[in-house]
Amino acid sequence: MKRIRGVRIVEDIGVKARWSGNLKFVGETEHGSIQMDATPSVGGSGHFPTPMETLLTALAGCTGMDVISILKKMRQEVTDLNIEVIGSRAEEHPRVFTKIEVVYNFKGHNLDSEKIKHAVELSAHKYCPISNMLNNTTQVSHRVKIEKEPIITSTVVKNHKQLFSTPEATS
């Protein structure tokens, strides 16, 4: 069993980045690929996400997968989840993130705000490895917004003829 800094390593993950001209790279993994580019201000074309945008996207995806999985186990009826991640960068190189805010926008039926906050906390501090790595190097905050959707009930029609008949025909 391999250990690094006292942590037991159970899985190695490898990726490749292939240069595709100018400042564009294609990141290749076992499961697919992602194109990256630099912004025009530093010589890129700006056609694809930057590596820093990709990192924030990975954070949003990682925590989102955790939160949805946890909330399903808690029997929460989430119908939509949008996650916004805003990162503030240092002015000087290496221009790391100095602050990151993760905003969770939930929609659903009968949502319990305490369960949602608990799921976000579990992801942020226990399950999402990207969040946990970033927590060690920068200030990461989490905010939750919940929009409860009304439950729409439908009337059960006992006689299907009522759906297609005119008022005169039913008398």
pLDDT band at 165; cut points 50, 70, 90:
very low
What's 131-171 look like in SS3? HHHHHCCCEEEEEEEEEECCCCCCCCCCCHHHHCCCCCCCC
Counting beta carbons within 10 angstroms of the beta carbon of residue 57, is it exposed (0 to 12), middle (13 to 18) or buried (19 or more)?
middle
- Give the pLDDT confidence of 77-106 residue by residue, as tens digits: 999 999 999 999 999 999 999 999 999 999
pLDDT band at 157; cut points 50, 70, 90:
low
Query: How many other CB atoms are there within 10 angstroms of residue 61's CB atom?
Result: 14
Reply yes or no on whether the pLDDT at 146 is more than 50.
yes
Rounded mean pLDDT of the chain?
Answer: 89
Q: What is the pLDDT of residue 171?
A: 47
50-150 fold? GMP Synthetase; Chain A, domain 3 (3.30.300)
Q: What is the pLDDT of residue 12?
A: 86
Reply yes or no on whether the pLDDT at 10 is more than 80.
no
